[in-house]
């Protein structure tokens, strides 16, 4: 526990360093001195604009998306006792994505209010999680995490097919918006969005964190948890709701970062161990660092101009995932 | 003794069902094949249909429609139907996962990647090159999926197959959409993923036919071993089956047949999931019965759906892949709900 | 074994990344410098002006500024003699190098990277007509933003508007006149070829043969409105249904859509010589067209017609006339 806390503090420090590094990456060139000067209230108008209107919100959004996905991944993996569970593999984020696609296709618009998108994504995610539970479990038998995941993978491909069909109805600009969004792009770079998002993440992050002890017990085994007096069914639903809420908001503002919710917890677990109370923040922070780095690549390297951040994350994390799979 | 008798009875019963299934399937297939040739955007008389097939006159437009448009498309549809459903059945046996399907498992992601690659770098590629590259793409992605699932202590398990398929297809589709977004090809890409056999020509049919026949024959050859293998690795080893060779050849079957389907019709899923399910419901799990029935019913399914796609909004074409998906998704949900008890070896 | 696997995967991943970045197409070299060469005659000193833009918003800006970033209308602006600091959109520079001397192309164009625009320290940002208000607000923080007509086909409106923004009405007059002259010259050519009242069918190929929808492709406007060619009634009918442009025509019925002149629009020429791809040449429906059998299908490079800027007008007409010549050859 103590070790975990220390590592968490170190990780947070690392996040801060990457964050400061991120402040220096972008198409508007500023010296490091100028960035610091601007950060602490000085600087000219242009550098203030670049930093406070474009760079900082982007970086904050990246961290928030990482936090949401990372924590959500931990909850799902602990609840299902399976290292391969995540919002991506369980099809929860694909479900969120589908509902947003349907909304854009039916209303023929790509302007969305700050509240509507996360709510839609949440509904989609909840619906999808419910459907996967309905299809992947049976009353007669015990919960089989593997089956849930396989159902999730298959369901996300079904969502993808339905999404493709909806997209055929769209015109080119909406199509492009949706494609970029589905590939995972940080698009909600506006302070008002970020405030909504941050409150959401803080609220559900806190609620999840409160369930940390329960999560530890459930992770040991359903029966043991029951023996220790935990109302497994109720806690399961409560924690799943939190996880879906966290991932949905991230999907709504940051698009579909498929592997993030899987890689974050994995790396974090290697660092701090399995105690959910230290694992939750650590995983969020690690995922945040990943998104930050990927976004810095896209923003700073014109070679990758116009490529959504999510694609960079996928291409970078698939090899790691495959490595995990080969090792497992 | 009694148990043995009952099993034998059931075997006989399945055999009868198989005969019924095959004869009804073949009959319906024949009827719909004639329907496929007769109906279409242009009206054609039976005399033209007959003459177009047997007394071809190049100057007669109706004959051209019959011989160069409808017939190759019909054959292509049949090949696609057989390939997808046999590949699906073999894959399900091979990986012991009743939900395996070339679309879901991500085999087509490699060929989509190849197609996009060609759109950008080789826009002048000939038809033959196109076929070659999309086969290559499908082949590479299949290899990677199996390789990843194979390396490791546990070897191939259904779960690892699904996950490695998912990872590889995410990798390919990420890169694909990266290129597509960078080059502004979104709508062309979408049209390709919709899937259609409308533009199949004789060359497509004749190029793929030998591979198709070889793949199908190989599938039939290993059908007995597949059945044995499904009883469990220990049992099959006890019976003297060489699991490694069977696994390798069944992978080859899946690869060849899915690649054929992809080059003819594009990335179409769910046929390989639906047809074997229905077939197993009728004839049981003996692959010697399952595979031929899958072939007939798969061909029937694709021919019927493509017939609908052709005449639904004639003289325009409806993308058949979308129609299949629209049938496939609800079916899939229905099946997974019914399967709850016994899927995934649970 | 394990280590090798990891290294292999890493190499693979790096290869894919560089592959993504390397996707760039090359342009062909050709010159269309018949456009009148105009001077930017604005004085250097700052002159603030308040202008009501096409959305009815009032914008106050320095109308003599040289510090312009244009997300749209690059071809119009350089024809005016104005050299923006940077431009984006589907800007064609090859063949027009002298017009784009000192003009940068923005790297990020989906739709823009605010920091990249800021790094040019612009005093005026010109954007496309339908940009969302959100994005306009974002850019307004950098500099005044004026949307330009992008969808309008009318040069008097398009160019007159730009002339008004910069007080370059005379240049606008010259360019409008030039556009009119080019059109007259082409009409005379059409007259000379004796194809004035012929019907023209334009096809494109994307998983099947179809007719390109009116709005997205400028060649439709040029052929059917400026040059006054006719469409087949059956093609009109096809285009009236909004869902159709995504749907291919059945190969069996394709010949019913064939007019006197058949044009193939190559969507993926991307600067290369446009041509009919093999996949279409072997298409059984395509082969039933009379024009195909007589080898008189005109081919145009559709990517040339995405922008309606006056700079490209001559090239666009030339492409069409060339296709007509091929299509009417005996």
Task: List the beta bridge partners of residue C146.
Answer: C126
What's the number of CA atoms in the CB half-sphere (13 Å) around residue C313? 26
The verdict on C135 and C255 lying in the same domain is no
Q: Which residues of C touch B (CB under 8 A)?
A: 5, 16, 19-20, 23, 25, 110, 206-208, 244, 246-253, 255-256, 267-270, 272, 275, 277-279, 282-285, 287-288
- pLDDT value at residue B316: 83
Q: How confident is the model at residue C6 (pLDDT cuts 50, 70, 90)?
A: low
At C249-302, the pLDDT tens digits run 888 888 888 888 888 988 876 667 788 888 888 888 888 888 888 888 888 888
Q: B158-183 vs A172-183: helix axis angle to the nearest 10? A: 140
* CATH class of the domain defined by A2-327: mainly alpha
Domain B2-341 maps to which CATH number in 3.40.710.10, 1.10.3470.10, 3.90.110.10, 3.30.230.30? 1.10.3470.10
Classify residue C21: in a domain, yes or no: no
Scored b (16 or more CB within 10 A) or e, A72-100 reads bbbbbbbbbebbbbbbbbbbbbbbbbbbb
| B-interface mutation test, from A132, A260, A326, most B Cβ less than 10 A away | A326
- pLDDT value at residue B344: 40
At B14-31, the pLDDT tens digits run 778 888 888 999 999 999
- pLDDT value at residue B304: 94
Instruction: Provide, rounded to the nearest whole percent, the portion of chain A with pLDDT above 70.
Output: 93
Residue located via tokens 């005016």: C80
- pLDDT value at residue B74: 93
The verdict on C153 and C237 lying in the same domain is no
Q: Which two tokens stand for residue B189?
A: 């890409």
Contact C279, C205 (CB under 8 A): yes
Cα angle vertex B114, ends B219, B81, to 5°?
Answer: 35
Nearest of B55, B57, B29 to residue B275 by alpha carbon: B29
Q: Which two tokens stand for residue A114?
A: 């700050």
Q: How many CB atoms lie within 10 A of CB B313?
A: 15
The verdict on C170 and C55 lying in the same domain is yes
Query: Is B333 close to A164, i.e. CB distance below 8 A?
Result: no
C-alpha distance from C99 to closest chain B C-alpha (Å): 25
Cβ–Cβ contact B127 with C under 8 A? yes
Classify residue C153: in a domain, yes or no: yes
Q: Which chains touch B (3 or more CB pairs under 8 A)?
A: A, C
Q: How confident is the model at residue C235 (pLDDT cuts 50, 70, 90)?
A: confident
Q: Which chains touch C (3 or more CB pairs under 8 A)?
A: A, B
Classify residue C122: in a domain, yes or no: yes
Q: What are phi and psi of C85, to 5 degrees?
A: -70, -40
Q: CB within 8 A of C201, min separation 6: which ones?
A: C211, C231, C232, C235, C257, C258, C259, C261, C262, C263
- pLDDT value at residue A98: 84
Per-residue confidence in pLDDT tens, chain B, 346 aa: 566 666 666 666 777 888 888 899 999 999 999 998 888 888 888 888 888 888 888 778 888 888 888 999 999 999 999 999 999 898 888 777 777 776 666 777 888 888 888 877 776 777 788 788 888 888 888 888 878 877 766 666 767 777 788 788 888 888 888 888 877 777 777 777 777 888 888 888 888 899 999 999 999 988 888 887 777 666 666 666 677 788 788 888 888 888 888 888 888 878 888 898 888 888 888 888 889 999 999 999 999 999 998 888 778 888 888 888 888 878 877 776 665 444 443 3
Classify residue C56: in a domain, yes or no: yes
| B64 to A42, B55, B307: CA distances (angstroms) | 78, 11, 18
- pLDDT value at residue B305: 93
Q: What are phi and psi of A105, to 5 degrees?
A: -70, -40
Nearest of C210, C200, C202, C199 to residue C283 by alpha carbon: C210
Residue C311 domain boundaries: 194-328
- pLDDT value at residue B8: 65
Strand ranges across the sheet with C200-205 = C209-210, C200-205, C261-266, C297-301
- pLDDT value at residue B345: 37
- DSSP character for C230? B
Classify residue C183: in a domain, yes or no: no
Query: Is B166 close to A153, i.e. CB distance below 8 A?
Result: yes
Above 80 in pLDDT, residue C99?
A: no
Task: List the beta bridge partners of residue C126.
Answer: C70, C146
**Among A156-165, A276-285, C31-40, C263-272, whose mean pLDDT is lowest?**
C31-40
- pLDDT value at residue B342: 45
Contact A262, A73 (CB under 8 A): yes
Q: In a 3-state reduction of DSSP, which class is residue C51?
A: strand
Rounded mean pLDDT, A20-44? 77
- pLDDT value at residue B341: 45
Burial of C276 by CB count in 10 Å (0-12 exposed, 13-18 middle, 19+ buried)?
middle
The verdict on C271 and C198 lying in the same domain is yes
Sequence length of chain B is: 346
Above 80 in pLDDT, residue A141?
A: no
Q: How far apart are CA A49 and CA A31, in angstroms?
A: 15
Classify residue C18: in a domain, yes or no: no
Q: CB within 8 A of B45, min separation 6: which ones?
A: B62
Concatenating the DSSP letter of every residue in B11-31 gives HHHHHHHHHHHHHHHHHHHHH
Q: CB within 8 A of A61, min separation 6: which ones?
A: A186, A188, A189, A193, A194, A197, A253, A254
Q: What is the mean pLDDT of chain A?
A: 81
- pLDDT value at residue B295: 92
Cβ–Cβ contact A325 with B under 8 A? yes
Q: How confident is the model at residue A85 (pLDDT cuts 50, 70, 90)?
A: confident
Residue located via tokens 């549809």: B77
Q: Which chains touch A (3 or more CB pairs under 8 A)?
A: B, C
Alpha helices in chain C (DSSP H): 2-21, 74-79, 114-118, 133-140, 155-166, 169-193, 218-220, 233-240, 278-281, 290-293, 313-328
The verdict on C152 and C55 lying in the same domain is yes
Q: How confident is the model at residue C43 (pLDDT cuts 50, 70, 90)?
A: confident
We report the CATH number of the domain holding residue C249 as 3.40.50.1980
Contact C208, C248 (CB under 8 A): yes
The verdict on C135 and C162 lying in the same domain is yes
Task: List the beta bridge partners of residue C178.
Answer: none
Above 90 in pLDDT, residue A251?
A: no
Chain C residue with CA closest to B315: the answer is C250
Rounded mean pLDDT, C58-66? 82
Domain residue ranges in chain B: 2-341
Q: CB within 8 A of A249, min separation 6: which ones?
A: A68, A118, A121, A122, A197, A200, A201, A204
- pLDDT value at residue C25: 42
| B323 to A165, A195, C253: CA distances (angstroms) | 9, 43, 21
Domain residue ranges in chain A: 2-327
| ipTM of the shown complex | 0.79
At C9-19, the pLDDT tens digits run 556 555 655 55
Q: How far apart are CA A272 and CA A11, in angstroms?
A: 10
Domains identified in chain C, total number: 2
Classify residue C41: in a domain, yes or no: no
Residues of C in contact with A319 (CB under 8 A): 6, 9-10, 12-13
């Amino acid at each position: 526990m103590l070790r975990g806390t220390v590592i968490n503090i170190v990780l947070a420090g690392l996040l801060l360093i990457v964050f400061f590094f991120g402040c220096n990456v972008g198409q508007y060139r500023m010296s490091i001195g100028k960035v610091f000067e601007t950060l602490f209230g000085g600087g000219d108008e242009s550098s203030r604009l670049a930093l406070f209107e474009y760079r900082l919100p982007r970086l904050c959004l990246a961290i928030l998306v990482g936090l949401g996905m990372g924590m959500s991944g931990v909850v799902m993996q602990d609840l299902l006792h399976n290292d391969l569970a995540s919002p991506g593999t369980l099809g929860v984020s694909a479900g969120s994505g589908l509902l947003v696609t349907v909304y854009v296709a039916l209303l023929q618009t790509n302007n969305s209010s700050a509240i509507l998108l996360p709510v839609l994504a949440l509904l989609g995610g909840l619906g999808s999680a419910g459907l996967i539970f309905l299809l992947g479990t049976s009353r007669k038998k015990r919960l089989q995490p593997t089956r849930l995941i396989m159902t999730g993978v298959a369901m996300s491909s079904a969502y993808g097919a339905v999404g493709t069909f909806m997209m055929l109805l769209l015109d080119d600009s909406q199509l492009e918006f949706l494609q970029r969004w589905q590939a995972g792009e940080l698009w909600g770079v506006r302070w008002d969005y970020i405030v909504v998002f941050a409150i959401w993440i803080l609220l559900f992050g806190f609620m999840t964190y409160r369930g940390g002890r329960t999560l530890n017990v459930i992770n040991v085994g359903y029966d043991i948890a029951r023996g220790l007096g935990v109302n497994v069914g109720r806690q399961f639903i409560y924690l799943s709701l939190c996880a879906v809420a966290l991932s949905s908001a991230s999907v709504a503002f940051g698009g579909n970062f498929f592997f993030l919710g899987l890689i974050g917890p994995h790396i974090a677990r290697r660092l701090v161990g399995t105690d959910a109370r230290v694992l939750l923040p650590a995983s969020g922070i690690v995922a945040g660092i990943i998104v930050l780095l990927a976004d810095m690549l896209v923003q700073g390297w014109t070679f990758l101009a116009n490529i959504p951040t999510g694609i960079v994350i996928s291409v970078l994390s698939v090899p790691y995932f495959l490595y995990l799979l080969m090792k497992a | 003794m009694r148990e043995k008798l009952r099993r034998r009875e059931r075997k006989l019963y399945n055999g009868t069902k198989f005969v019924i299934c095959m004869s009804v399937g073949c009959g319906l297939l024949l009827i719909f094949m004639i329907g496929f040739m007769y109906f279409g955007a242009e009206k054609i008389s039976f005399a033209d249909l007959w003459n177009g097939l047997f007394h071809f006159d190049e100057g007669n437009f109706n004959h051209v429609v019959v011989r160069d448009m409808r017939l190759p498309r019909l054959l292509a549809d049949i090949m696609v139907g057989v390939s997808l459903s046999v590949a699906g059945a073999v894959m399900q046996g091979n990986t012991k996962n009743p939900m395996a399907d070339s679309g879901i498992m991500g085999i087509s992601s490699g060929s989509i990647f190849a197609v996009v690659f060609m759109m950008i770098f080789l826009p002048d590629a000939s038809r033959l090159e196109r076929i070659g590259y999309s086969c290559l793409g499908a082949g590479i992605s299949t290899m990677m999926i199996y390789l990843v699932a194979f390396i490791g202590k546990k070897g191939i398990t259904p779960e690892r197959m699904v996950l490695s398929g998912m990872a590889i297809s995410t990798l390919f589709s990420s890169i694909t959409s990266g290129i597509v977004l960078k080059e502004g090809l979104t709508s062309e890409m979408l049209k390709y993923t919709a899937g259609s056999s409308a533009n199949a020509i004789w060359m497509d049919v004749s190029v793929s036919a030998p591979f198709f026949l070889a793949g199908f024959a190989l599938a039939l050859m290993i059908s007995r071993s597949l059945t044995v293998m499904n009883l469990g690795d220990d049992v099959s080893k006890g019976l003297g089956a060489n699991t490694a060779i069977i696994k390798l050849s069944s992978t080859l079957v899946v690869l060849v047949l899915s690649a054929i389907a992809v080059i003819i019709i594009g990335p179409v899923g769910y046929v390989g999931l639906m047809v074997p399910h229905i077939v197993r419901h009728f004839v049981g799990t003996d692959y010697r019965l399952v595979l031929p029935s899958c072939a007939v019913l798969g061909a029937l399914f694709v021919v019927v759906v493509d017939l609908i796609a052709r005449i639904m909004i004639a003289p325009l074409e409806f993308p058949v892949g979308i129609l299949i998906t629209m049938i496939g998704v609800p079916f899939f949900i229905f099946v997974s709900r019914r399967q709850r008890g016994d899927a995934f070896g649970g | 074994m394990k280590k090798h696997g990891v290294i292999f995967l890493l190499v693979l991943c790096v290869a894919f990344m560089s592959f993504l970045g390397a996707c760039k197409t090359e342009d062909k070299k050709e010159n269309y410098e018949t456009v009148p060469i105009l001077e930017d005659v604005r004085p250097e000193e700052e002159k603030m002006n308040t202008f009501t833009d096409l959305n009815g918003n009032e914008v106050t800006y320095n109308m003599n500024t040289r510090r312009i970033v244009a997300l749209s209308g690059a071809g119009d602006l350089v024809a005016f003699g104005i050299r923006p600091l940077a431009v984006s959109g589907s800007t064609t520079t090859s063949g027009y190098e002298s017009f784009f001397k000192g003009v940068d192309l923005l790297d990020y164009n989906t739709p823009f990277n605010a920091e990249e625009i800021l790094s040019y320290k612009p005093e005026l940002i010109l954007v496309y007509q339908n940009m969302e208000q959100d994005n306009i607000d974002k850019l307004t923080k950098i500099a005044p933003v004026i949307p330009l007509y992008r969808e309008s086909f009318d040069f008097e409106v398009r160019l007159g508007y730009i002339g008004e923004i910069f007080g370059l009405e005379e240049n606008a007059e010259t360019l409008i006149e030039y556009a009119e002259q080019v059109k007259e010259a082409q009409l005379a050519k059409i007259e000379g070829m004796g194809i004035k009242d012929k019907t023209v069918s334009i096809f494109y190929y994307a998983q099947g043969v179809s007719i390109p929808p009116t709005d997205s492709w400028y060649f439709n406007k040029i052929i059917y409105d400026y040059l006054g060619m006719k469409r087949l009634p059956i093609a009109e009918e096809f285009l009236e249904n909004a869902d159709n442009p995504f749907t291919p025509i059945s190969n069996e019925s394709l010949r019913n859509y064939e007019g006197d002149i058949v044009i193939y629009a190559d969507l993926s020429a991307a600067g290369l010589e446009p041509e009919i791809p093999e996949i279409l040449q072997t298409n059984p429906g395509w082969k039933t067209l009379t024009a195909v059998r007589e080898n008189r299908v005109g081919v145009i490079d559709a990517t040339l017609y995405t922008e309606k800027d006056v700079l490209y007008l001559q090239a666009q007409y030339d492409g069409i006339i060339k296709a007509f010549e091929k299509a009417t050859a005996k």
